[in-house]
A and B are shown apart, each in its own frame.
Chain A
Amino acid sequence: GQQVMQIPQYQHVQEGEDFTTYCNSSTTLSNIQWYKQRPGGHPVFLIQLVKSGEVKKQKRLTFQFGEAKKNSSLHITATQTTDVGTYFCAVGGDYGGSQGNLIFGKGTKLSVKP
């Protein structure tokens, strides 16, 4: 079945440093979504990428979808304490996918030291 690997599992940064989390799949993806979960909260949708090589920006966040549609990254420039939380990628079942649903990565937990 389809699997998605997300790395790193944890990342500790000093405020102002950059942060990147990666999501890798063993199969070609139809799309990928990114979510953020604040401590004690619930996941909140950030963005969806669909096209090969797509790059989207939201203020200090940059999302990329690989040319082969097997990997994606989320990059945060100059982290702030408000960026603290766990970032999840979620992939749609590929052609003939096993679940017919999104499959979530295990997440990258970001902590930011002021």
Chain B
Amino acid sequence: DGGITQSPKYLFRKEGQNVTLSCEQNLNHDAMYWYRQDPGQGLRLIYYSQIVNDFQKGDIAEGYSVSREKKESFPLTVTSAQKNPTAFYLCASSIGLYNEQFFGPGTRLTVL
């Protein structure tokens, strides 16, 4: 089955802890993205990557970090510097920028 997976579906962390969200795709897509979704806010871009070993900041990159060591994988770390990390995080991929994006099922992060 081709697709994009995110794990875990729900994640709870204590304030001050870093946490890494997983995103894997087997669609052979070059571009991958991380979005944050808050109620009534739509999708806000955190980071995106067009190619392995390269990534760019989006609109709300502060307090987040990413890596792209493999084409299939684009993990997102939510650091303790992110002031309000509780949100729904969506990973997506596409053949290239501006193409149709395929989304994973999302990870709902709650920081206690």
The majority secondary structure among interface residues of chain A is loop
Is B80 part of the contact surface with A, judged by Cβ < 8 Å? no
A93 to chain B, nearest CB (A): 7
Of the four ranges (under 10, 10 to 19, 20 to 34, 35 or more), the interface on chain B belongs to 20 to 34
Interface residues of B in 23-54 (CB under 8 A from A): 33, 35, 40-43, 45, 48, 50
- Report chain B residues within 8 Å CB of A41: 105
How far apart sit A101 and B34, CA to CA, in the bound complex (Å)?
12
Given known contacts A43-B103, A45-B100, A88 and B43 CB-to-CB distance under 8 angstroms: yes
Cβ contacts under 8 Å, B102 to chain A: 45
Does A85 reach chain B (CB closer than 8 Å)? no
Contact B98 A92 (CB under 8 A): yes
Bound form: Cα–Cα A101–B105 in Å: 21
Given A42-B104, A88-B43, A92-B98; 15 other pairs, CB 8 A cutoff = A6-B42, A33-B101, A41-B105, A42-B106, A43-B92, A45-B100, A88-B42, A93-B98, A101-B58, A104-B35, A104-B42, A104-B43, A105-B42, A106-B40, A106-B41
- Residues of B whose CB lies within 8 Å of any CB of A are 33, 35, 40-43, 45, 48, 50, 56, 58-59, 90, 92, 97-98, 100-106
